[in-house]
Each structure stands twice: as structure tokens, then as C-alpha cells.
Amino acid sequence: MLGFRLLVAAALAVYGCAAQNASLDFPEDFMFGVATAAYQIEGAWNVSGKRESIWDDFTHEHPDWIADGSNGDVACDSYHKLDVDLEMLQDLGVDFYRFSFAWSRILPEGHTDQINPDGISYYNRLIDGLLAAGIQPVATMYHWDLPSPLQDLGGWPNSFTADFFVQYARVLFENFGDRVKWWITFNEPKEVTRGYGENDKAPRINTHGIGEYLSAHTILLAHARTYHMYDEEFRATQQGRVSITLNQDFCIPKDDSEENKDAADRCNQFELGWFAHPIYSQEGDYPEVMRTRIDENSAAEGRPFSRLPYFTSAQVEYIKGTFDFFGLNHYSTRLAEDGLAGENPSRKRDGGYATSFDPSWPTSASDWLVVYPEGIRLIVNWINATYGDVPILITESGFSDLGELNDTGRQDYYREYLRQLSLAINEDGINVIGYTAWSLMDNFEWLDGYTARFGLYYVDFEDDDRPRTAKGSAELYKQIVASHQVPEAESTAAWGW
């Protein structure tokens, strides 16, 4: 590779700019960005008309469920430090900034009868500031912070929550769609469902085996209705793109046995295909393997109907094709093997697989995140092979540590993951259009509080002013964004790549 680079450099010297494209790891129009989410950075949880979301309630009522007992009350204080955030983004030179709207900042009670002008003006300032700096806004409508009054009505397992979501989405299109051209309806719906099927995220209502499937069903319909609303009422004038962000830490078989190959496939179908198949496949609907296994398990449990709800054939058609790109969050890879895991019943158990990590894979500050750079190449290939040549936007990817400024682990992660991604584009011909580093800055990492840090910028949470300091990875990312090249530097973290 180094030899190749030297050759290209020599060619450039001789032929000048005409030869430039040949040497780029990423195409010239490839987009680089960074991401955050409202609850994780904004703070200002109860000011300027904002009301509670399920994450406010969760952290206030159960600090014991958060690793350091913390919450997002102040977080990075981005509500008051917008200008500082904009300066950091400009300094990085990114093409886009992915952020999320806090539903309860815009609609304090979740419903459209009361729109909060301060909420609208905060996001207007953000969007206008981005555009003035030449940075595209990529806006997520829902990054896990459901307004509490909607949880009181049942939250995502209640199919009416889709109605409330679509009305909220309309307010967003009406107020911001003249300037926002990239929309993501839901961030990681699989994780949202874990709030209803595991002892995990807010609202932590563990109706395992049922709640997660009902939530997913509502979310898929809410997504599709939002997409169609955009098509019918906004696309002609606003000309943007609307999709969803799905997450998958890819499953590969633990060994070459047929059982474990099937287990890895089930893992990817039960986790990613669950949402991707209804939207991106030719046939639509839930993956066949989910239908069969959950229907059979439900019957064996003596239930009169399946725990996995059915779409009508009209709904299957309605959901199919509701995308303009494939938003993928990818951090890590797992080894899958045949077996039973999770509570009985549960989505995990229905899937009939267990996952683990290869002990040689480097670890991070998050128990679920290990480093396996080839995984990103494998998963974009899998998406392409499974759903066709859809443009893939990596909407998140990143590495956690304890907050080092000289964050060699993160730098190695970005170098190696981006190198693999460039191979997927250049050698495998996969249509990847952009990459998003998670995250712009250290922030509230859900159940891990402030213990696991993902930022390109360090944030001092002990200081009321929440000062931000660029880490080594900010410098590296800036270089990559500017050059569209991954530097050849030696791996520093002794990972043996």
C-alpha cells in the first residue's frame, strides 16, 4: 500500500492535478460528518418551555441505573453553548452535522396543540449557523427521548404513538424543511425496543417477548407514514431525503459449522433485518425466519396469536421502499453461535443464537464495543448483497475510552475502520456515500453516564462552563476530512494490525 502511495505521489508530481482522483481513498463527493443527540448534549432539561422526556424521568427516578448516577440535566450544555459547538464543527471542516431534535423541547406535551417557540428558535439558530458555515444539517427526529406524557399513554407499544409521531414530524418539516435536506426518522429503533423488552433503556418496561415486537411494529408504521407524508406534501418543494438509521454490530459465525453460520444469519436477520427487510427488501415484511420462529414459539406457548404482529398486505406494500438511503450505525462485530440466550420469551431467545467476542479483539470502555475493522467492510457488503445497490450513509461509528486527550485507541479505530470502508468502496464497489464519527464531543452515554467517552473533543463535566478541548482524534479526523485520505501512520495502540 505504501509503495502504491509513493507511486501515486510521483505520478501526481508529474501529471499534476489531473491524476488526483486516482489517489483518493474516498471519492471527492464522499461526505464526512460528526453526530450527537439532543438528550446526550443539550442539557437545559427544564428551561425555555421544555418538558420531561422518558430519559429525564429515568435518570431522575433511578440514578442507580446509571453507572455514575449522572443524568443529562446539563450534559455538554449545548443549549447554551451553540456557538462553541459551531466553532468546533467549522474547525473540523466536516461536510455535515448529524443532530437530533428533542421532541419535548418542540412539543412540550408531545402533542401539536402546544408548540414551544423557544424550542423552534433554538433549532433555527443551529440550522442557520450550520448553513452559514457551509455544513449540511442531517436531522434525526427521534433519538430515544419520548415526551413523558406519551409514555403515560403506553409509549411505543401503543400503536397510537405513530399518530403522535407523524404530527410531530409534520411540525419539523413545516418549520425546518426549507433548510434541512437530510432527514432520519428514527435512530436505532432496535435500541428503542429494548426499553420495552429488556432491563435496559428508558422506560425500562420489561415486557419481554411482546413489548419489543409491538414497539417495532409501531415504529415501522410511523416511519413509513412520515416518509409518505414527505412524498405527498413536502418533497416537491423541499427536495430532501428521508430515511431511517438502523444499527448493527455485525454477527459473523463463531466457526465454520453450518449451525453457527445459520446462527450468524439469524442474528443479523433478527436484529437488522427486523427493520431493514420491511423497508429495503423486494418482498417487504418481516424476515421469513422471524415469522416462522416466532409464530412457532408462540403456538408452542399456547397463545392464540403470534407475539410478532402481522402487517396487512397493504401495509407491507406501504412500508416497502420508504427510503432514500440506508442509514447505518456500526461500531463493532460479534461471533454468533447456535444456542439460547435471553429471557423466556424474548426476541433474543426467539432468535436462537448467542454472541461473544474473540478474546484477541481490542476492547474499549464500553462492554459491547470491541474493535474489528474488517466488520465494517463485511456489513456494507452484506447490506448490498441483501438489499441491492442502495446508497449507504454510515450515520455513526466510533470508539469509547476513559477520556484521554492523546486518544490513540480512537485514532487507530478511525484509521482502521476508514481504511476498511475505503476498501469496500474501491475494491468491492459498494455504494457508501458518507461516514459519521460518533461523536463530536464527550457526552451522556446513556446507562454508562459520563464514564465511557466517545468525543473527538474532550468535555470537562466538572467545570460549570463545560469547556471543550480537541483530542488527538480531532486533528486526525480533520486531516482525513480535508484530504479524503487515511494517513498511513503506524498503529499506536499495540493492536497488532
Question: Given the DSSP bridges, would you call strands 353-356 and 333-338 parallel, antiparallel or unpaired?
Answer: antiparallel
40 vs 185 by CB, closer to ligand NOJ: 40
Indicate if the alpha-carbon torsion angle 293, 296, 298, 304 is positive or negative.
positive
187 vs 298 by CB, closer to ligand NOJ: 187
- The secondary element (H helix, E strand) that includes residue 172 is helix 161-176
Among 42, 212, 271, 396, the active-site one is: 396
* Full strand arrangement of the beta sheet holding 353-356: 250-253, 333-338, 353-356
Does residue 109 carry a catalytic annotation? no
176 vs 444 by CB, closer to ligand NOJ: 444
Q: Is 399 in the site for ligand NOJ (CB under 6 A)?
A: no
Does residue 396 carry a catalytic annotation? yes
Q: Among the residues of 303-406, which ranges form H helices?
A: 313-319, 347-351, 374-387
The residue among 410, 387, 385 whose CA lies nearest residue 397 is: 410
Q: Among the residues of 16-160, which ranges form H helices?
A: 38-41, 54-61, 82-92, 103-106, 117-132, 148-152
Smallest distance from ligand NOJ to CB 362, Å: 17
Q: Is 37 in the site for ligand NOJ (CB under 6 A)?
A: yes
Which 176-215 residues touch ligand NOJ, going by CB under 6 A?
187-188
Smallest distance from ligand NOJ to CB 190, Å: 10
Are 93 and 478 a contacting pair, CB within 8 Å? yes
d(CA 353, CA 221): 28
Among 188, 212, 337, 416, the active-site one is: 188
Smallest distance from ligand NOJ to CB 188, Å: 5
Smallest distance from ligand NOJ to CB 168, Å: 19
210 vs 380 by CB, closer to ligand NOJ: 380
Residue recorded with cell 464526512: 32
Question: Exposed, middle or buried by CB within 10 Å (0-12, 13-18, 19+), for 233?
Answer: middle
Per-residue x/- mask for ligand NOJ, residues 367 to 396, rule CB under 6 A? Answer: -----------------------------x
30 vs 454 by CB, closer to ligand NOJ: 454
Q: Is 78 in the site for ligand NOJ (CB under 6 A)?
A: no
Smallest distance from ligand NOJ to CB 293, Å: 27
Question: Given the DSSP bridges, would you call strands 457-459 and 468-470 parallel, antiparallel or unpaired?
Answer: antiparallel
Which 419-448 residues touch ligand NOJ, going by CB under 6 A?
438, 445
What amino acid positions are annotated as catalytic residues? 188, 396
Positions touching ligand NOJ (CB under 6 A) are: 37, 40, 187-188, 329, 396, 438, 445, 454
